[in-house]
Amino acid sequence: MKTGADFFRLAKWPGTLAKLDPANTLGWEKSAAVTKRLEQNTMRLAELQLRLFAESKHAVLIVLQGMDASGKDGTVRHVMTGLNPASCRVTSFKVPTADEVRHDYLWRIHHVVPARGEIGVFNRSHYEDVLVVRVQQLVPKAVWKRRYDQINAFEQMLTENSVTILKFFLHIDKAEQRDRLKTRLADPTKNWKFTHSDLAVRRQWDAYQRAYDDALSRCSTKWAPWFIIPANKKWFRNLAVSEIVRATLADLQPQFPKPLFDVTKVRVT
């Protein structure tokens, strides 16, 4: 049985997403054993989260990126399902508000970075400012090109201040995205998830793939590496992410703090 460490090596970056198979499951097959392992991982995550919160020495930031319908919401729902919302916050980044636009592009990100003892999940993130901004030509090239180094420096500063960063790119192919978008149109319970902008972005698929190639290449560092998760198979996506998050939290070895008093001498009447 593979361990979390095996998933760390699941996608040695070849420099372009085109060389990675989004349907790859590393030999795993959908089965009751996989379902059980995911359940065990989510239970273990809940245990580790409690220790992390009690100790309050480290924060964990999980970044989820991917094309539309790649499974960011599904990953949160299936992998983070057992986490206590008291110390875990999910933040979705949409079009910047008027107030956010008045600040630098990292201001709204830093504002919601998890505190020590907490887990933060970003559904989209600061990487939109080298993705959407680039493809839609919202700022000059000279501006967004500087942001790779700025992002690396920002993430290094966070890690040097006890924030562990896990960045996941959920990799699906264009055919899988088409099928998922069609499902949203066919299922009345999923109609609300579909917008016409999804089609506009889909028409720019190649441009976004090139933008992701550069973001993944230039912003995968030793302090905040990218993990490219083959995400055509939802069950494998969930398994891989849960393995990496569980292994990372376990490596932090969070401990319950020792009481500051002799508990044997306390009487509750």
Residue 56 to residue 17: CA distance in whole angstroms? 37
Residue 6 scores a pLDDT above 80: no
Count other C-beta atoms under 10 Å from residue 15's C-beta.
9
The CATH superfamily of 4-256 is P-loop containing nucleotide triphosphate hydrolases (3.40.50.300)
Tens digit of each residue's pLDDT (9 = 90 or more) over 19-73: 999 999 988 899 999 999 999 999 999 999 999 999 999 999 999 999 999 999 9
- Domain positions in the chain are 4-256
Strand order in the sheet with 226-230: 88-92, 119-123, 59-66, 163-171, 226-230
Say how far residue 122 (Cα) sits from the centre of its chain: 6
Tens digit of each residue's pLDDT (9 = 90 or more) over 175-231: 999 999 999 999 999 999 888 888 999 999 999 999 999 999 999 999 999 999 999
Place 1 in a pLDDT band, splitting at 50, 70 and 90. very low
- Residue 171 DSSP SS3: strand
C-alpha torsion sign, points 100, 106, 110, 114: positive
